[in-house]
Structure 1
Amino acid sequence: MSTPGLRIHRDADLRRLNTFGVAVRAPWLVEVDDAARLPQAFAAEPIAGRVPLVLGGGSNMLFVAPPAEPVLRLPGVDVRMVDDDGDVVTVYADAGVEWHALVMRTLDEGLSGLENLALIPGTVGASPIQNIGAYGVEIGERIVAVHAFEPATGGNVRLPREACDFAYRDSLFKHEPSRYVVTGVEFALRRGGAPNLSYAGIADELAARGIDAPSARDVADAVIAIRRRKLPDPAVIGNAGSFFKNPIVPAAQADALLAANPRLPVFAAGDGRRKLSAAWLIDSAGLRGYRDGDAGVSEGHALVLVNHGNATGADLLRVARHVAAGVHARHGVALEPEPRLVGATWAQ
């Protein structure tokens, strides 16, 4: 069934819509090009009276089982400037816009602020939900407001950044996943401005390129080069990027771990807590490159789980739990997954 701006597919194949490349089908797939059609979509079958699973780029989701609910996609592609004071420019992007494309487009417009987040897979709509972050920047720092549809009221809302409860890989939208459907995001970007070089790897990459006064584009190019060296391409081998969050622990626990493991990367996390490198912990437990059938841990980066061909979501979850158990046994630190698990919970 389809009408202008609204398409409904039955028994939909989602393999190409999740970056793990897991073979899975949905009972229904509803695609809504224009967020203004969402009230119609939620009032009609197959969504009426149900809570759909909202799917963006499928880069932060592991299908352990087929979704029981209808799947909703918003493939809108609108990007526009909504405010410009000459220094700060507010850019709006639809939820369906591909994230890296937005980063590169803003750089083409001479705007800085997103360059440290280049080459992250997924769509704009997922960015506030996960509060995506990399190389010294979290997207919550750049967000002005999040636009969303509220199924309970049938209305649209604009939530300012302060209302989104952003924290490390966390937000209001993760805690209340059925309350809102993110339809678009506003970002505050700058014309020019000093780039964020707080992440040592970026400074090292720029130095290796002989760049002393980097532009935002230079930083993005450095980030892209680092990510391509470290992380497997989902187009080549199924993965969802970093699978585990960096654990945050009490300072006393971090100090004890550091005393026993002087090479462990430890970072301040506020409130008397410390953030640990999950990649280092996994490496230290000897689990980089671990493989169980077609599911495994990347040889190139210990944080990345990969699908070598025909792994199921259950296979990948089993490997993830094996990795977490190994880290806990060696270091007494609990790991938590970044991706949303569909059809399963992390706790056994």
Structure 2
Amino acid sequence: MSDTRDSTANRAAQFKQWGLEVIAIEANAVGRLERFIDAQFSAACELLLGCHGRVIVIGMGKSGHIGGKIAATLASTGTPAFFVHPGEASHGDLGMITDADIVIAISNSGETDEVLSIAPLIKRRGVKLISMTGKPESQLAQLADVHLCIAVEQEACPLGLAPTSSTTATLVMGDALAVALLHARGFTADDFAMSHPGGSLGRRLLLHIHDVMHRDDRVPVVQAEASLSEALLEMSQKGLGMTAVVNNQQQLLGVFTDGDLRRILDQRLDVHATTIATVMTANPVTITADVLAAQALKIMEDKKINGLIVVDAAQQPIGALNMHDLLRAGVL
């Protein structure tokens, strides 16, 4: 039994060591990419920025998988792009590429047959070609208008066969292109949201306060002269844990919340004789309807509050929301 435990412990230590070695090798490969963020990188960015069509990414095998991710990252950050399999391109999909497009061809060796077979056809059509290879002297690198070097000292695979460090370096170079172009285009969070409408990311970026707030007769509001008991009744009926307090012009003066109620319980106030104006929180934190719901979440977290009154330009309450509303909307 002891031998079994020792064997398991030794294997666990080996797994950890092997994992750390991979991380160290690939981290070194990524760090050395700084050498290749050079004039050729700037030239590639200029070509892509001036593209009036789409960016077509091609690659075989593992390079193809990385190419698909690069195309997706470009497309989601303001550079229209898609992936074309070079094998399929030789059998009709080359028709997807127009004269207005730019092609990024990925091959670590720069000698991948399926990529090289279509590269001359791409060039013949006058389409600009950007290559990403680990060998600047390769055929693909020489054919390209711009070459991005992704050379690595060694693969993390101990056999030196499975693409590991090289695919990581390629992915990082693709991210560098996408983010550089994002900056150049002045791409914003709102732009990003338009291509990510689904899931929690879309909800955080697209939902505004007016999409989630309670409005009209669902907004808890009492006059400043109202009694504490009347305010508590309003809070109970509207169920938001708070009520807005307004003046005769319906402008917001303050807010009274469940937290305020807990703080005054030991004062033994007469709930019928005490006016809400004497116990409310004056000048409360508010928000406008056009603000992103995600910003409301940050405000509530920063201020350690559970609800917000929504006001218009005249400081009149037009809505209200609390943490539960953001949770139901998927913003949390």
TM-score of the superposed pair, with normalisation by structure 2: 0.19
Compare the two structures and name the one with the higher strand fraction. 1
- Structure with max Cα Rg: 2
Compare the two structures and name the one with the higher helix fraction. 2
Q: Which has the higher contact order (CA 8 A, sep 6+)?
A: 1
TM-score of the superposed pair, with normalisation by structure 1: 0.18
